[in-house]
Amino acid sequence: MTHTKHGLRLDLRSLILVLCALTALVMLCASYFASYRVQRQLLIDHALEANRVYAAKLASITETFIASALRQLAFSAGVQANQLADADALQAETDRVLHQGMAFNSTFVVDAQGILRAISPATLRHYLNTKVQSPGVQEALHERRALVSTPYLSAANNLVVALSQPIFDSNGRYLGYVGGSLYLRERNILNSLLGEHFYKDGSYLYVVDRNRRLLYHPDSQRVGTVVEGNALIDQLATLDSGTRQLTNSQGVPMLAGFATVPSARWGVVAQQPLEQTVAPLSRLVLNVVGTSAPLALVGSLVLWWLAMTIARPLWQLAAGARSMDRAGTAERLHRVPAWYFEAAELKRALLFGLNLLQERIGRLNRDAQTDPLTGLGNRRSLDFSLSLLEAEGRAFSAIVLDIDHFKRVNDGHGHEVGDQVLQRLAELMRRCCREGDLLCRTGGEEFLMLLPGASLEVAAAVAQRLRVAVQDTPVEPVGAVTVSLGVAHWPGPAGSEPGDALSKADRALYSAKQQGRNRVCVEGL
């Protein structure tokens, strides 16, 4: 610096120092601002995607529940078709459906004229033999198909969604329907599936039908109301799944992920407040600024190095968050050196979320490929194994079997005893097979065994051993039961597919039944 008659002037060195200081300050401020914007967008994107995945998972769970409930009703409709004239039998079957899986708040049978023929629980039986005029009943009578109704007020003044299956006699004549109801304003299976999925940061989810009516909401007072002023819900009927940043009907900015339940055309929306999502970011940036600002006096190089050191775990964690669905993500997150509190908490939360997501997806996959009664594989498991064997070009033998006269067991002893017979057969199948063989339940009393690498002779011996074991193993109170079995092998003629072996085994099974049952027939012999 020099002094002149014109006043104080800065020399070149001072100007350079001032310029460097200003440049460092501007760069520091700019870097913090850019970091804030990037991290904020990352948090928003991650929250949106997490909500979408979350909504899709719950929509899938709800779809699975509806499909399972409709299957229960379809089975019951087949039973009720043969006993509409027997009021006691109608009521007993209606009670069984209600208590078997606790899927419904009430179950009922309505005939083709709209007369309530049976209902459970007992507190509603004063409506028996009356003509029901509620919208859900009229909708089911008009549609005459498997149906998930729109919400309506029942005769008991409950806000209800009803699931129903039509009843037809052996000539195809419509006799009425079997139904099960969910009371939306009371405790029900939908609440159990969805009600425990919330967080303390303001996140929540809700379910709406195609008419924008709330079917589930954490605030039970809003269930049954029609949502107005929400752009996402207005468009939900035309969308499949996705994310949306919006302002809800209460005027709060939200980050929403949504998915639909195809069979019922319901929308599941998981959302959290934008303010709560980005709130941790402000505290994080202030901590970083407070730590690194004194070091800026030492020099821009030290400041740059320290900022990179602090930010690196966050960048690595954010990269892990963006690749949650990729293999090896957990291992990469474990290697992140989260040496300060915020990074350690984010790392712990990401690892916990990743483990939880993988566990639940794994459980859903296992449940989707397993028969719940016998623990054997289902048709999905069978289709997957067939495609794998075909891809590997690996030969196999197939044994198709079913229980002889199984309907007599159900009719004579009840479905609970019938279930015990099915479970005992599954145990005997496990004992008679090798490790690595695939055992499936493909229908009510129909089973299948895939024996990879087994010749037709070996498979026939296995089938014969199983037949004898079933014949010699009585099941109380039924006594001895028998099975008929058909055996086939793949590959067969040139150009054959694995499914052809199953068809041949089916034909062999049919031949065994024609020849008197309790026997093994081998395709081609």
Are 214 and 225 spatial neighbours (Cβ–Cβ below 8 Å)?
yes
Residue 239: count other Cβ atoms within 10 Å of its Cβ: 13
Global model pTM greater than 0.75: no
The domain that holds 485 is classified in CATH as 3.30.70.270
List the structure tokens of 361. 């997806």
Note whether residue 458 is domain-resident.
yes
101 and 231 together in one domain = yes
Residue 144 within a domain: yes
Note whether residue 386 is domain-resident: yes
Question: Could you tell me if residue 331 is inside a domain?
Answer: no
Name the one residue in this structure whose structure tokens are 């899986």.
Answer: 101
Residue 346: count other Cβ atoms within 10 Å of its Cβ. Answer: 21
Both tokens of residue 107? 């179950």
Q: Does residue 308 register a pLDDT over 50? A: yes
Report d(CA 451, CA 458) in Å as an integer. 9
Range of the domain at 283: 35-292
* Same domain? 281 vs 415: no
Select from 143, 214, 146, 228 the least CA-distant residue to 185.
Answer: 214
Residues 40 and 135 in one domain: yes
Cβ(335)–Cβ(317) below 8 Å: no
The Cα 72–Cα 100 span in angstroms is 9
Structural domain count of the chain? 2
Which pLDDT tens digit goes with each residue over 350-366? 766 666 655 665 565 66
- String of DSSP letters for 245-290: EEE-TTS-EEEEEEEEETTTTEEEEEEEEHHHHHHHHHHHHHHHHH
Whether 391 and 271 share a structural domain:
no
Residue-wise pLDDT tens digits, 212-231: 888 888 777 888 788 887 77
Last residue of a domain, one of 292, 324, 351: 292
The answer to whether residue 23 sits within a structural domain is no
% of the chain with per-residue pLDDT over 70: 83
pLDDT band at residue 11 using 50, 70 and 90 as cut-offs: very low
Q: Of 292, 325, 354, which residue sits at a domain end?
A: 292
pLDDT in tens, 19-70: 666 776 777 777 777 777 777 788 888 888 888 888 888 888 888 888 888 8
- Give catalytic residue positions: 445
Are 510 and 488 spatial neighbours (Cβ–Cβ below 8 Å)? no
Neighbour tally for 196: CB within 10 Å: 7
Q: Which has the higher per-residue pLDDT, 384 or 15? A: 384
* 399 in a structural domain: yes
Contact 447, 439 (CB under 8 A): yes
Name the domain boundary from 270, 292, 314. Answer: 292
Is 108 in the same domain as 233? yes
Domain-embedded: residue 334 = no
Residue 317 falls within a domain, yes or no?
no
